[in-house]
Each structure stands twice: as C-alpha cells, then as structure tokens.
Structure 1
Amino acid sequence: MRLLTIPSDANPSFSKLTVSLASTPEEIREVQRLRYKVFIEALSLSALANPDGLDSDDFDRYCDHLIVRDTKTLRVVGTYRVMSPDAARRMGSYYSEQEFDLSRLDHLRSRIAEAGRACIHPDYRSGGVIMLLWAGLAAYMRRERCDYLMGCASVSLADGGHNAAALYHALTPENFAPAEYRVSPITPFPVYEREAGHAPIMPPLLKGYLRSGAWVCGEPAWDPDFHSADFFLLLPLTKLDSRYARHYLKEEKPI
C-alpha cells in the first residue's frame, strides 16, 4: 500500500524516493537485510550474527514495515517497524514490554502505535529518508486512529555507558513525562553509577523525538543483545511540536 511519493533531497543524482508499507515476504526480507547491515554488521555484534544476514524476530510477523526505496536503484534505504494496537493484541504484547513495565499505560493501549527498529542506509543519511519515514508514521497513525506514538531510542554503551548516563542527567524536567505516564525498566541501566562529567552526544533518533515533543518516561533499560541503553519515549499527538504537526499531520492529497 503506497502512502505517498516525495522527491528526494538526499542526493540530486537520485530521481526519487518513495515511502510505502512492505506488502510481500521479499520486501520484509529486504528490510531485515538492511537492519542486519546497520545493527549487526556495523556494530560488530557477533552474538547476533547469522548466515542468513537477516535481523529478524517474532514481532516481524505481526508488525507493519515502513520502507523508503530509491526508485532509481530499487534499493530499500530506510525502514521503521510499526505495531498497531490490534497487532499488539494478537502478539500478546508490544516489543517495548520486553524491556519496560508499561502497566501505567494500560488505559491507552487501544490508542498507541509503537515504532522501532528505525534504520537508514549509511549513504542516505542527509535527512530526506528520515523525513519520509516520519511522514509515513503520521499516515499510519491516522489510518490506525492512534493518538500516541511510543518507542525506544538506543544509546550505544561502547564507551562504558558514560554518554548514556550524561544524556540522562542532561534531560530537563520538561523532557520527562508526568508521573502518570512513567514506566519502569525491567533491567535498569545504572545511570547513577557512571560518570557523566562530559557533554553528552545525542543520537539523531533521540534528538528527533525530543524536538518533536516526545517525553522520556523514566530511566533507561539495559539491552544486552544490542549493547545499548534504551530510553522509552511517548509522544502524544496533542503535544507534537507545531512545526512537525504542520509538516507531517497535514491532510494528504490523493496520489
């Protein structure tokens, strides 16, 4: 199902990028191959290496997969995995519930879409692909009638966790969710046991969420498989920064 088609600003030599939902098993394998390259090969996560060269799990069968494709090379260059409330019911949980206790959000379950596994090919990280993925997320949330977007932003622990701790301590009160939306990590990352004296380096995904108006809902969780500290974020669409709302939530014309 095509959502929209927008000219690319990533590189003038590429004619056009498109965003759509994967609709065939082969398209899902294309997504899984890109995730493998970005998450496992690039980060040298040997424990997750496999001969198929695919990053996959049980959630892939239940989720939808946003894909950005370069229509000149036909290569999938960006992806976001999204889970609707109905898919979470069929699966039995959201992906984030492997890392966080979301019981305080139970009353919102029918209105929450979850986004995760965001990745972009290294040759396409100038901004155009992430803009398309965000536009695709907005269209997906309209289709599923969701008022909240949730997901995790991962921070590498390659430096021993000092940057993750520095990021957490640099957050302002406005960055944190009200108490009624707070969640608890199942395996907390010990942010108070790491030195945080240097200025933090914020990953682009976390920066984008915070700029859009998302809340951090508590302390990060430790993900040993991906060797990261994961920050849980919740974005009520009513809180979406007006610049983002104008750009992504405007009504689309038929194409």
Structure 2
Amino acid sequence: MTTACVGSPSAASATAGRYSVVLTRDRADIEAAQRLRYQVFSTEPGFTLGAFAAAIERDVDRFDTFCDHILVRDRVTGDAVGCYRLLPPEGARALGGPYTATEFDLDALAPILPGAVELGRACVHPDHRSGAVSALLWSGILRYLSMTDHSWLVGCVSVPMRSTPGERPGANVRAVRDVVSSRYAHDPRWQVRPHRPVRVDGRGLDEIEPAARAVLPPLLRAYLRIGARVCGEPAHDPEFGVADFVVLLGAHHADQRYLDRFLAATGAA
C-alpha cells in the first residue's frame, strides 16, 4: 500500500494499535480518501457538495494530483477513517498557486509561501473521533515537515454558514470571527484579504448579529491549540456553504506539548 511520493520524500507508514497511517500518492489511496471526504462532507450539517461529487460519490478537485496524502485506515476493516492532503510548495507552483489563493489574496504571505505546506480536506469518520485518528494524522504532518524541511503550515478552516437548520445564516460565523480576531489573530503583517467576503442578504459580518455563543469547529480548535493563528477575515465559499478562515502555523511556534502528544501516537517521541 505504501508508495513513493512524487516530488516528496519516500512515503512513510506507521501503525498504532487499531490504526495504520500512510503518506502516499497511490491512486487507490487517493480515491479512498476522496470517498471518505465525500461521505463525511455530504453528511456534515451546513456543508453542501455539487452534483458531480454526488454522481461519483467522491470529493475530487484538481489539487489532489499535486498533493501528498496522509491516510489513516482501520486495521480491522481496512476502511479509510481519516485523511489530510498536503500541497508542497513545488506543487503549488505547478498549479499556479495553492487552493487558499482561490479564495484569498495571499500577497501578505508571499515571503513565506516558498517554504509553506498547504493543509486541506481534513476529515475523520464520525465513528472514529476518539482522538487517536487525529493524533495519527498530525503525527504524519509533523513527520512530513521534518522530512521536507518546510517551516510553515497554511490552510483554510471551514465554519458552516448555518450549523443547524434553525440557526440564522452567518450568526455563528460572526461569533467565531469575533473570538478568533480578539484572541487568536496573527501578526498584522500576515493578514490576508478574502476575494469574496461573507455577506448574508447584502449584509457584511459586522452587520450580522452574532450567536450568543461561538461554536468553533473541532478542526479550528485543534489548530489553535497547537499554536496556529488566524490571518484576517473569512471568505464565503458558496459551493460548500461555509465561511473559510486562513490559519497559519510556523513550526517554530507550535506548542511543544501538543507536538509531543502527536509524535507519541506513532512512537516517535
């Protein structure tokens, strides 16, 4: 199952109890990740997928081919239960820019993008969210950074425009924005600008009444705990029905306690 990754170090794999994790560009592994992404994204409250994804029951885009993929499988069933994709700088150059650039003006990040890996399409199967799968995914990311000598992680984190059917569109996005901008904002020099700012019925975020309590998605909480910070206002992604925030993490700024925890998941610490 483990295969060499084009444009990256040789693929690595590891096991931890019930699960195995692999870094790969193998077509079968990528398709397994795409099926898992479709299964998870199509059932998450507030997310929507297009007709093409529904027809093939896979979440696919043009970036997958240029990415290295981290895939966690259940060793008992063989099923894919967690995945991440990593776009190295050379892949971003071949594509004309990272995925994040389709939603944001990244001029402010130009000094660091040549050494940045873009994270994306993270998901864990609902039946495997005890923490072990996420720890394995992060251990794979950290090993990848170590092998490639890249020093920055950048990516988008999605917040549904409406987390529940009865929620006012954009209310939780506004609340999340207020929390991260006051407590987890990155250095002003790293602030990016969304191509499509969030608007609901002609109103910008500042005009939308925030929810009484901000509900941060688990992925965003994980990024913040490990030391990532948010780079400005979110962009509206109508295809998925979400608002996307850019997060940036310098490897030298990461919380060492969390690094040790994730590395220990595969016996690396």
TM-score by length of 1: 0.90
In structure 2, do the counterparts of structure 1 residues 208 and 42 end up closer, same or farther at CA, with 3 Å as the change threshold?
Answer: closer
1:11 is matched with: none
Structure 2 residue identity aligned to 1:182: Q
Structure 1 residue identity aligned to 2:50: A
Rounded to whole Å, the distance in 2 between the matches of 1:46 and 1:19 is: 27
1:212 is matched with: 226
1:182 is matched with: 191
Is 2:49 the counterpart of 1:25?
no
1:63 is matched with: 67
Rounded to whole Å, the distance in 2 between the matches of 1:176 and 1:71 is: 39
Question: What displacement does 1:36 show?
Answer: 0.7
Rounded to whole Å, the distance in 2 between the matches of 1:235 and 1:206 is: 12
Structure 1 residue identity aligned to 2:42: I
Question: What displacement does 1:174 show?
Answer: 4.4
Q: Report how many residues are paired.
A: 245
Structure 1 residue identity aligned to 2:144: Y
Rounded to whole Å, the distance in 1 between the matches of 2:15 and 2:254 is: 23
Verify the 8 A CA contact 1:188 1:220 in the aligned structure 2. Answer: yes
In structure 2, do the counterparts of structure 1 residues 2 and 210 end up closer, same or farther at CA, with 3 Å as the change threshold?
Answer: same
Is 2:87 the counterpart of 1:78?
no
2:36 to 31, 34, 37: 34
2:242 to 225, 228, 232: 228
Alignment of 1:98-247 (within 5 A): 98-158=102-162, 159=167, 160-171=169-180, 173-189=182-198, 190-247=204-261
Verify the 8 A CA contact 1:3 1:139 in the aligned structure 2. Answer: no
In structure 2, do the counterparts of structure 1 residues 197 and 28 end up closer, same or farther at CA, with 3 Å as the change threshold?
Answer: closer
Structure 2 residue identity aligned to 1:178: D
Rounded to whole Å, the distance in 2 between the matches of 1:199 and 1:50 is: 33
Residues 34-57 of structure 1: per-residue CA shift (max 9 Å, x gap): 111111244573634432111101
1:47 is matched with: 50
Structure 2 residue identity aligned to 1:124: H
- Aligned to 2:63, the other structure's residue is in SS state helix
Structure 2 residue identity aligned to 1:24: D
Runs of at least 4 residues of structure 1 off by over 4 A? 41-44
Structure 1 residue identity aligned to 2:252: T
Is 2:94 the counterpart of 1:90?
yes
State percent identity of aligned pairs: 38
Rounded to whole Å, the distance in 1 between the matches of 2:171 and 2:267 is: 46
Rounded to whole Å, the distance in 2 between the matches of 1:249 and 1:238 is: 16
Structure 2 residue identity aligned to 1:210: L
Rounded to whole Å, the distance in 2 between the matches of 1:237 and 1:167 is: 25
Residues 59-115 of structure 1: per-residue CA shift (max 9 Å, x gap): 011011110011110100000011111111111110100111111111112210110
- Aligned to 2:56, the other structure's residue is in SS state coil
User: Cα RMSD (Å) of the superposition?
Assistant: 1.9
Question: What displacement does 1:4 show?
Answer: 2.4
TM-score by length of 2: 0.86
2:6 is matched with: none
- Aligned to 2:121, the other structure's residue is in SS state strand
Question: What displacement does 1:191 show?
Answer: 1.9
Give the unaligned 5+ runs of structure 2.
1-10, 199-203
Verify the 8 A CA contact 1:154 1:230 in the aligned structure 2. Answer: yes
Structure 2 residue identity aligned to 1:3: S
Verify the 8 A CA contact 2:136 2:262 in the aligned structure 1. Answer: no
Rounded to whole Å, the distance in 2 between the matches of 1:144 and 1:77 is: 25
